[in-house]
Amino acid sequence: MKSGEHAAVGAVVGSVAALLLVGTESLPLLAAFVAYGVLLSVFVDLDHFLLSRVVVGDWRHLRLAVTNPRVGLIEQEKVFAGYDDVLRPRRLLSHHVVGGVLVFGLVAVGLGGVAVFSAVVLYAHVLCDYLRDLGYA
């Protein structure tokens, strides 16, 4: 999915999860959770560039996204063109690894509520990626 689509999913899922976890007693805290959900849902995809570096052996995909803003922001399907078959199954695995480490780390430092929220948002992100890969979304 494109970043804008993940941002929309992160906003919806983050809003519902934040309402359930925080309620409406603290609107600034509620807004912070929603903003965090949107950012998390979008920026978790940066792991694709690290994965690409490991699999391909260089930073060509990151360079393309950074040096050509149109591709990096609008035509994102072109970023990994030619390597999608190699990267696609691994990118979902990397999301699980990143999510697991993040959630465990948050629990370890005593932020259980943030950990649950992060797990819900990342679950929605990965589910949307699966649905897109299967042609349902």
For residues 19 and 30, the answer to whether their CB atoms sit within 8 Å is yes
pLDDT in tens, 111-122: 999 999 999 999
- Euclidean distance between CA atoms 89 and 20, whole angstroms: 33
- Give this prediction's pTM: 0.92
Residue 30 pLDDT > 90, yes or no?
yes
Average pLDDT, the chain: 94
Mean pLDDT of 32-52: 96
Q: How far is CA 68 from CA 61, 72, 75, 125, in A?
A: 11, 6, 10, 25
Binning pLDDT at 50, 70 and 90, where does residue 107 land?
Answer: very high
For residues 122 and 44, is the Cβ–Cβ distance under 8 A? yes
Q: 101 near 108, Cβ under 8 Å?
A: no
Phi, psi (deg, nearest 5) at residue 93? -60, -45
Kindly indicate the confidence band of residue 26, based on its pLDDT and cuts at 50, 70 and 90: very high
